[in-house]
Amino acid sequence: MRKTNFVSNSDRILLNSVAYGSAADPTQTCSLSSDVYDPSGCDYVPEWVVRAGPRAEVYFDPEEVHAAVVTCGGLCPGINDVIRSLVNTLEVGYGVKKISGVRYGFKGFFSGDEFMPLNRKVVRNIHNIGGSALGSGRGGGDVEKIVESIVNNGINMVFVIGGNGTHAGANAISNECAKRGVKVSVVGVPKTIDNDILLLDKTFGFDTAVEEAQKAIQAAAIEAQSAYRGVGVVKLMGRQSGFIAMFATLANGQVDCCLIPEISWAAHGPNGVVEYVRNMLDAQGHAVVVLAEGAGQEFVSAGGTDAGGNPKLGDIGQWFCKQLKAEIKCDVKYIDPTYMVRGCVANAHDSIMCTVLGQNAVHGAFAGFTGISVGSVSAHTAFLPIPRMIERERLVDPDGRMWHRTLASTGQPDFF
Ligand SMILES: Nc1ncnc2c1ncn2[C@@H]1O[C@H](COP(=O)(O)OP(=O)(O)O)[C@@H](O)[C@H]1O
Ligand SMILES: O=P(O)(O)OC[C@H]1O[C@](O)(COP(=O)(O)O)[C@@H](O)[C@@H]1O
Ligand SMILES: [Mg+2]
């Protein structure tokens, strides 16, 4: 390994970087904010997390490492950048020769699909395409079978790229290995364009998704402005968390109404969104509405869960457009760019973030950590305990300043 600045295991990063923060501050040691943000009324946040980086002492002999990489859940811009960074760091940084790519999510450990041999040559250009070079997927979180595969294939490092569900799986795999006395480092890299992981500054791919969403909102605004009583409606991803919708709205600045899962709203009645759109049409001749896909699910959800156990969503965008058409004289243009915001190549910012995360995940595994994930905290890269990160989804704080900024931009009232 090249000469480098090693990080000590006692190096720490301060999680709560604001002194005397208000109750709505998400990094409060004991947050007493809204019901949505903190149902228990007291949200414990540890003071420090461990600083990521290479250690002077490593736990594994590179000659004996068999590393596996798996990508689970929905796609996200930058997955391939992370895979590339993991492989480059394993091979060039530490001299690991055996790296296996697990196909189509957790089930690839036991589905009978051959592992994909990974090396620097194979991953050289994968970051130039979106998606996952390994294939991703939901389901297959059978911890017993996964651990059997780990043991049978002599795997001793597992890099798991995925969101909340995937991390729950990674933690369960780590625990099961420990229970069986199998020496394996299981390290997560948080992947979710929903940006719904606690404690992190931001997840990779989120910035790219917000940027991609601009095209849809811009088109909706143009269509709305060019039509007689035109309404542009855009539905963006965000199952339980409205971060993409909120940030895309704020960045665009032409949106009249943003609806997110964290905040309930009435469609009908004098304070409902339909009436608000009617008023916007009367006043300015057009309106632009951005909805997160998880917003207003009480109107459209048919229940049920997907292969990963996530709630299946009804199409709130279609439903909302139908309400508009039924109740007011308007020309509705509906844009649903759902998969377009995640099936793309990461922008430069996300690409660099992915490289840093992948590299540090390998450092974490070589340092002998397991059941950890790696993420950006207060602008530093940290190793974090998985259970604390996935206690629940990170949500937009309805009392927070970012949402208030969004409301100031749209000018929308409360819809109830
Ligand atoms: N508690 C768990 N134990 C084991 N595997 C799990 C657990 N929760 C989720 N998984 C697995 O992780 C996969 C990915 O989770 P999912 O929620 O679909 O996507 P994401 O990780 O991107 O949020 C799931 O399809 C499931 O197989
Ligand atoms: O149709 P799919 O592939 O199940 O994905 C849809 C979901 O994936 C997401 O992008 C989030 O994915 P993850 O939970 O895998 O991070 C949501 O915004 C969306 O509801
Ligand atoms: Mg998820």
pLDDT digits (tens, 9 = 90+) for 54-100: 999 999 999 999 999 999 999 999 999 999 999 999 999 999 999 99
- Active-site residue, selected from the candidate residues 38, 43, 194, 397: 194
| Residues 200 and 390: beta-carbon distance below 8 Å | no
Alpha-carbon gap, residue 410 to 392, rounded angstroms? 29
Mean pLDDT of 124-142: 96
Task: Tell me the torsion sign for CA atoms 412, 198, 349, 400.
Answer: positive
Return the percentage of the chain with pLDDT > 90, whole number: 86
> How many CB atoms sit inside 10 A of residue 24's CB?
18
Q: Looking at ligand 2, which residue's alpha carbon is closest to its atom 6? A: 74
Whether 73 lines ligand 1, by a CB cut-off of 6 Å, is: yes
Return the percentage of the chain with pLDDT > 70, whole number: 92
In tens, the pLDDT along 203-241 reads 999 999 999 999 999 999 999 999 999 999 999 999 999
Mean pLDDT of 38-61: 79
Amino acid type, 347? N
Q: Strands of 319-359 (E only): list them.
A: 331-335
Phi, psi (deg, nearest 5) at residue 342: -120, -20
Phi, psi (deg, nearest 5) at residue 177: -65, -45
| Residues 277 and 411: beta-carbon distance below 8 Å | no
β-strands 43-44, 48-51 pairing: unpaired
> Any idea which of 21-25, 81-85, 158-162, 256-260 has the lowest mean pLDDT?
21-25
Q: State the closest ligand 1 atom to the C-alpha of 143, by its place in the atom list counted from 1.
A: 4
Report every protein residue that has its C-beta within 5 angstroms of ion ligand 3.
163-164
Tokens of 98: 């055996």
Alpha-carbon gap, residue 132 to 346, rounded angstroms? 12
Q: Measuring CA to CA, which residue among 102, 159, 210 is closest to residue 374?
A: 159
Residue 33 has pLDDT above 60, yes or no: no
- Contacts made by residues 173-181, CB under 8 angstroms, sequence distance 24+: 173/143, 173/146, 173/147, 174/370, 174/371, 174/386, 175/371, 176/143, 176/144, 176/147, 177/147, 177/150, 177/370, 178/370, 180/147, 180/151
Amino acid type, 101? G
Alpha-carbon gap, residue 39 to 262, rounded angstroms? 13
Q: For the chain, what percentages of helix, strand and coil (3-state, to nearest 5) are there?
A: 35, 20, 45
Residue 42 has pLDDT above 60, yes or no: no
Mean pLDDT of 43-58: 85
Tokens of 134: 């390994």
Whether 104 lines ligand 1, by a CB cut-off of 6 Å, is: no
Q: Measuring CA to CA, which residue among 346, 382, 308, 340 is closest to residue 79?
A: 346
Q: Name all residues whose Cβ lies below 6 A of ligand 2.
A: 73-74, 163, 192-194, 237-239, 293, 306, 342
Q: For 198-272, where are the alpha helices, taking DSSP H only?
A: 206-226, 243-252
Check residue 20 and give its pLDDT. 60
Q: Is 128 exposed, middle or buried (0-12, 13-18, 19+ CB in 10 A)?
A: exposed
CA distances for 239 relative to 43, 55, 63, 170, 230, angstroms = 22, 38, 43, 21, 27
Q: Measuring CA to CA, which residue among 280, 294, 243 is closest to residue 406?
A: 243
Residue 17 has pLDDT above 80, yes or no: no
Residue 398 has pLDDT above 50, yes or no: yes
> How many CB atoms sit inside 10 A of residue 339's CB?
11
> Any idea which of 41-55, 87-101, 139-153, 268-282 has the lowest mean pLDDT?
41-55
In tens, the pLDDT along 161-210 reads 999 999 999 999 999 999 999 999 999 999 999 999 999 999 999 999 99
Q: Looking at ligand 1, which residue's alpha carbon is closest to its atom 17? A: 165
Mean pLDDT of 282-297: 98
Q: Looking at ligand 1, which residue's alpha carbon is closest to its atom 4? A: 169
Check residue 23 and give its pLDDT. 55
| Residues 66 and 155: beta-carbon distance below 8 Å | yes
Q: Is 396 exposed, middle or buried (0-12, 13-18, 19+ CB in 10 A)?
A: buried
| Residues 219 and 203: beta-carbon distance below 8 Å | no
Ligand closest to the CA atom of residue 109: 1
Question: Going edge to edge, which strands form the sheet with 286-292?
Answer: 257-259, 286-292, 230-236, 331-335
Taken in order of first residue, the domains within the chain and their CATH numbers are: 1-51 (no CATH), 61-203+348-377 (3.40.50.450), 206-343+398-410 (3.40.50.460)
Catalytic status, residue 81:
no
Q: State the closest ligand 2 atom to the C-alpha of 293, by its place in the atom list counted from 1.
A: 20
Check residue 21 and give its pLDDT. 58
ipTM of the complex: 0.97
Check residue 50 and give its pLDDT. 95
**Is 304 strand, coil or helix?**
coil
Residue 25 has pLDDT above 60, yes or no: no
Q: Looking at ligand 2, which residue's alpha carbon is closest to its atom 1? A: 74
Residue 30 has pLDDT above 70, yes or no: no
Whether 165 lines ligand 1, by a CB cut-off of 6 Å, is: yes
Q: What's the mean pLDDT when you consider all of the chain? A: 93
β-strands 257-259, 116-117 pairing: unpaired
Q: 14 pLDDT band (50/70/90 cuts)? A: confident
Phi, psi (deg, nearest 5) at residue 97: -110, -20
Check residue 338 and give its pLDDT. 87
Q: Ligand 3 centre and the CA of 306: distance in Å?
A: 11
| Residues 154 and 183: beta-carbon distance below 8 Å | no
Q: Measuring CA to CA, which residue among 283, 195, 309 is closest to residue 247?
A: 195
Global confidence as pTM: 0.94
Check residue 1 and give its pLDDT. 52
